[in-house]
Structure 1
Amino acid sequence: MHSLLKRQIRKYLPEDLKAHPEMESFLEAVEKSYENFDDKFSMLHRASAISSDELFEANKSLQKEALQQKSILVSLENAIRSLRENLNDEKTIKIQDEFNTEELATYISNLASQVSEMSTEKDKLLSSLENQNESLNNYAQMVSHDLKSPIRNINALMSWIMEDEKDKFSDVSKENCSLVSENLTKMDKLISGILKHATMGETEEHKVSFSLEDSLKDIEQTIYVPENITFEYNEELPEMFFERARLEQLFMNLFTNAVTATEHVDKGVIKIGYEPDDTYWKFSVSDNGKGIPEKHQKGIFEMFKKLETANNATGIGLAIVKKIAVLYEGDVRLESEENVGTTFYITLKKNS
C-alpha cells in the first residue's frame, strides 16, 4: 500500500488500535484490495468507451431509419393525393408520424379497386373504339368505291358525248360540259383524299433506307411544275430510314400547295430545308408565293379548309400532312406573310 495512504489510516485510528497486533494484517488486506486497480479501471474505461461508440452508431442508424420512414410517408401521402384527385375522391387522409395502419390499408385497397375498375372500363372503351374505327374505315372504303364508280362513268359518258356531238354543241354548251367534267374530276380527287385521311395509320409500312433528295426530286418530276418555278434543296438532306411512301405523300401535298401559291410569280422559288437533330427529323418547305392571310392560318390544317375555290384543291392535302406528322409524334406549323411567302416547318420523331 502506498505509504501516504497507510499514514492517513493510522492518523484516524484510536490509540488502542494503532498498537493492536492485528492492525498490520488489516492494512495488508486493504492493500490487496487495491491490487490491479489501475488495470481494472482501464478495462472499465475501455468498456465504457466501446458502449458509447455502439450507442452512437445505433443512434445514427435510428436517425437514418427515421428519415427513410418519413420519406416513405411523404411519398405515400403524395401517391394517395394523386389517386384521390384522379378518382375525384373527396375523402382526406393526412399521414402523420402516428396513423391508423388498418384504416390506411383499407383506404389504399379501395383506391386500388377503383383504379382496377377504371382500367377495365378503359379497356372496354378502347376495344369499342377500335371496332368503331374499323367499321368507319370499312364504311369509308365502301362509300369511296360506290361513289367513285358512277362518277367515273359519268365523266366517261360526258367525254363520249363531247366527242360525238361536238359539232352540234354551241360554245356555251361545250364550256358547260367542260365544267361538268372538271367538277367530276374534282369530286373523284376529293373522295380519294377523304379515303386517304380516314385510313391513315391503318396500314403498316416497313421502314426502308433511302436518299431524301432523290425521293423529293422524284416527287418534283411527278407533279405539274410550271416553267417559272424552281426547286432548291438543302445540300445536307439526310439518308433516311423511314416509311418512304408516307413521307413522300407528306411532301407531295406540301409541294403541290407551294406550286399553287407561286404559279403566278415571275420567278417562283420553293426551298426545302433540313435541320439536324438527335430525336426528330426536322424539315421546312418555303415558297415566295402569295402567302396566307393571318385570319386563315389557324384553321389551315383542318379538313376541307382551302383559300380558293377556283382551282382543283380539295382542302384535304394539309389535313393529311398534319395527320402524318401527328402519327409520327411530331407536328407541323407555318409562318406566312401575304405577298411575301409561306414556310411550313415539319417535325417527325425518328424512333416512333
Structure 2
Amino acid sequence: MNLTLLHRLLLVVALAGWTLTLGGFLLWDLRLAREHMEELAIKEARSNFNKDLAFRLWATRHGGVYVPVDDRTPPNPGLAHLPERDIETPSGRQLTLMNPAYMLRQMLEEHGDFYGVRGKITSFHLLNPINAPDPWEAEALRRFEQGESEVLEFVEDDKEPRLRLMRPMETREGCLKCHAFQGYQVGDVRGGIGVTVPMRHYLDTLGETKRSRTIFFSVIWALGVGILVLLDVQVLRRLRAQEEHENVLKAQRQALIRANKDLTRLAEVSAHHLQEPSRRLLTFSQLLKDRLKVEETDPEVRRSLEFVEQNATYLRNLVRDIQLYLDADKPQGQPAELDVNEVVARVQQKLAPLISETGAEIKVGELPPLVFDLSRLRDIFLIIMENSLLHAGTGTRPRIVISGERLNGMNRYRVSDNGSGIPEVYRQRVFEIFERLGGGGRGTGIGLPIARRMVESAGGEIALETADGGGLSVVFTLPAKPPGEDG
C-alpha cells in the first residue's frame, strides 16, 4: 500500500478514535450529571417526607389540636363520632379538633404553595374523601400491601416532570382515637404519605450542565483534532520527503545495478578476448626462445625474450583469475556431497611441481564431508595452498597442515603454514583485489579475494589467524548442507 494512502487511513482511524473517546467520555459525564441530579431530587423528597413524618408523629402524640373554626378550617365531618370534636372557650370562641391527618394535609398544602414541593396523605379507607388516592398512589398503596417500604418514580404528564415518592403510614397508639372504629390496630398500614417534587428546576440546571460540558468537550475535541491535523501535515511532509529520497535511492540503485552489470559484462568480454592474445604471445615467445637456443644469441635479446615470456604468463594467469573472480559467487555444477580429503588430494596432485620445487611437507587430517560444487571447493583449497607455497619465504622448508571440524551445522577448515605470516594490520587488505604483500612478484593478487567471494557467497566466512607454529592460518567456514536440508 502507498505510504500516503496508509498515512491517510491512519489519520482517519486516529480522528475516529479521538471522536469516539471524547464522545464516550461526554456521554459518561452527562450520565453522571443526570444521576447526580436525580440523587439530589430524591434526597429532597426524602427530606420533605421525614419532615412530614416528624410533624405527623408530633400531632399524633398530642391527639390533635383545637383551632378556631373558619372558612379554611371547618369542623371535620369525619370526626363527628367524637363527643368533643367541637368545644367553646370561656370567652365564647368556637374551636374544632384537627386530627393529625387534617393538620398534615393543611400543612402540606401551605408548604406546597410556598415551595412547590407538595405532599399528600391518602388511604383506601378514608375519613375525608378529599384524600382519595389517584391511580399512581393507588398502585403504591397496593405495593405497600405486598411488603414494599418505599415507592418512587420520575413521572412526566400533562403538567410537568416530577418526582413522586410515597412511604407507608403505620397506625400508632394516638391514631386509634380517630380510627379505632375502622378496625385498625397499632402497627397496621392504613395508608401512605406521599411527596411530589417538581423537576423543572433540576432539569433546567441539568440542561445548563449539559451545554457547558458539551462546549468543554467540544473545545477539547477541536484541540485534539487540530493537533492531529498538525501532526498529519508534519508526518505527511516527512513521508513525502522519505518517498522522494527512496525514489532517488531506487534510481541510483538501479543505475548502479545497470553499471555493475555493464562492468561485469565488460570484464567478462575483455577477459574472453584477452585469453587468445595472451596465449599466443606466450606460445610464440616460447617458440622464438627455443629456436634461438641452437644459435649464438645476444644475451640482451635472450633477457628480452624471457621478460616477454614472464609477462605473457602473468597476463594469462591474470585473465584466468579475473574470470574466476567474476564467477566466484555462482555454483559451477550441481552441488553434491564431497569427500573433502579426496578434493585436497587432487589439489596436491595439481600442485605437485610447486610442492617439489619448494620441498614442502603437507599434512592432512580427517576433514568432514561437505555438500558443495566440486569446482569451487577445489579452487578454494588450490588458492589457499598455492598462496602458502608461494609465500613460504627462503631458508625454511614449507610445512602445511590442513584440519577440519564440524560445529553447529557448519564445517570449519584450517590451512596453516610455517611461513613468516602477515602482520595483523594487513590481514584484511589481502582479501582486496590486487593487494599483495611480497611473494617476489609471483601470483596475480586476486587469489584470496576469489576465495573470499566463493566462501561468503555460500554463507560462510574466511579470515586469517596466527598459526600455532608462528606462521599463518587461513580459516574458512561453509554450511555442511545447503539451507533447507536437515543437518
Please state which band the TM-score falls in when normalised by the shorter chain: 0.5 to 0.7
Matched with 2:256 is: 129
Q: How many Å separate the matches in 2 of 1:239 and 1:256?
A: 22
1:217 aligns with 2:345: yes
Is the 8 Å Cα contact of residues 334 and 343 (structure 1) preserved in structure 2? yes
Aligned to 2:314: 186
- What's 1:322 paired with? 452
Tell me, what secondary structure is at the counterpart of 1:285?
strand
Q: Which residue of 2 aligns with 1:21?
A: 180
Amino acid in structure 1 at the alignment position of 2:338:
F
Query: Could you tell me which amino acid in structure 2 is paired with residue 230 of structure 1?
Result: E
Q: Are residues 229 and 103 of structure 1, via their aligned partners in 2, closer, same or farther at CA, if it must alter by over 3 Å?
A: same
CA distance in 1, matches of 2:296, 2:468: 46
Residue 365 (structure 2) aligned to one of 207, 219, 234: 234
RMSD of the TM alignment (CA)? Answer: 3.7
By how many angstroms is 1:253 displaced?
0.7
Q: CA offset at residue 342 of structure 1? A: 0.4
SS for the counterpart of 1:225 is: helix
Q: Alpha-carbon deviation of 1:189?
A: 0.7
1:219–1:248 contact (8 Å) kept in structure 2: yes
Q: Pick from 223, 239, 243: which aligns with 2:373?
A: 243
Change (3 A) 1:203 1:282: closer
Question: Aligned to 1:300, what secondary structure does the other structure show?
Answer: helix
Which residue is 1:208 aligned to?
A: 336
Stretches (4+) displaced over 6 A: none
Contact 2:332–2:375, Cα closer than 8 Å, also in 1 = no
Q: Is the 8 A contact 2:418 2:472 kept in 1?
A: yes
TM-score (norm 1): 0.66
Q: Aligned equivalents of 2:318 and 2:407: distance in 1? A: 36
| Percentage of pairs with the same residue | 20
Tell me the residue number matched to 1:100: 227
8 A Cα contact 1:290 1:338, kept in partner: no
- How many residues of Structure 1 are paired with residues of Structure 2 in the alignment? 282
Cα distance in 1 for partners of 2:188, 2:395 equals: 127
Q: Is the 8 A contact 1:333 1:344 kept in 2?
A: yes
Q: What CA distance in whole angstroms lies between the structure 1 residues aligned with 2:260 and 2:289?
A: 43
Q: How does 1:43-192 map to 2 (within 5 A)?
A: 100-166=227-293, 167-170=295-298, 173-192=301-320
Unpaired runs of 5+ residues, structure 2, are 1-56, 64-172, 193-223
Q: Which has the larger radius of gyration?
A: 2
Cα deviation for residue 240 of structure 1 reads 1.5
Cα distance in 2 for partners of 1:295, 1:16 equals 116
CA contact (8 A) 2:329 2:458 kept: no
Write the deviation string for residues 77-126 of structure 1: whole angstroms up to 9, x where unpaired.
xxxxxxxxxxxxxxxxxxxx998334444544444444444444444333
Q: Is the 8 A contact 1:162 1:177 kept in 2?
A: yes
Q: In 2, distance between residues paired with 1:271 and 1:202?
A: 28
Query: What per-residue deviation string (whole Å, max 9, x for no partner) do you get for residues 37-82 of structure 1?
Result: xxxxxxxxxxxxxxxxxxxxxxxxxxxxxxxxxxxxxxxxxxxxxx
SS of the residue corresponding to residue 21 of structure 1 reads: helix
CA contact (8 A) 1:332 1:345 kept: yes
SS at match of 1:218: helix
Q: Which amino acid aligns with 2:268?
A: Q
Residue identity opposite 2:309 in structure 1: S
The structural deviation recorded for 1:338 is 12
Higher strand proportion (structure 1 or 2) = 2
2:210: which partner in 1? Answer: none
Instruction: For 1:27, give the aligned amino acid.
Output: V
Q: What residue number does 2:116 align with?
A: none
Q: Name the CA distance, whole Å, in 2 between partners of 1:204 and 1:153.
A: 27
Contact persistence 1:300–1:306 (CA under 8 A)? yes
Cα deviation, residue 241, structure 1: 1.6
Amino acid at match of 1:144: A
Code of the aligned partner of 1:157:
F
Deviations 1:200-251 (A, max 9, x none): 336775422212222122112112323732333332x222122332222222
Q: Distance in 2 between matches of 1:107 and 1:175?
A: 75
Q: For the structure 1 residues 290 and 326, does the alpha-carbon distance in structure 2 shift closer, same or farther, using more than 3 Å as the test?
A: same
Letter in 2 for 1:318: L
Q: Which range moved further: 278-287 or 134-143?
A: 278-287
TM-score by length of 2: 0.49
CA deviations on 1:150-186 (whole Å, 9 max, x unpaired) are 2322222222222222222145643442333122101
User: CA separation of 1:18/1:296 partners in 2, compared to 1, >3 Å: closer, same or farther?
Assistant: closer
Q: C-alpha separation between the residues in 1 aligned to 2:174 and 2:326? A: 127
Give CA-to-partner distance per residue, 1:239-275, whole Å, 9 cap, x none: 2122332222222110101122337565532122324
Q: Using a 3 Å threshold, how does the CA distance of structure 1 residues 268 and 208 change in structure 2: closer, same or farther?
A: same
Q: Secondary structure at the match of 1:306?
A: coil
Q: Verify: 1:30 aligned to 2:157, yes or no.
A: no
Cα distance in 1 for residues equivalent to 2:469 and 2:188:
121
The CA deviation string for residues 137-160 of structure 1, in whole angstroms up to 9 with x for no partner, is 221122223333223222222222
Preserved contact between residue 137 and residue 199 of structure 1 (Cα < 8 Å): no
SS class of match (1:313): coil
Query: Secondary structure in 1 aligned to 2:407?
Result: coil
CA gap of 1:183–1:339, structure 2 versus 1, over 3 A, is: farther
Offset at residue 344 of structure 1 (A)? 1.4
Distance 1:256 1:164 in 2: 32
Q: Which runs of 5+ in 1 are unaligned?
A: 1-7, 34-96
Q: CA separation in 2, counterparts of 1:266 and 1:326?
A: 33
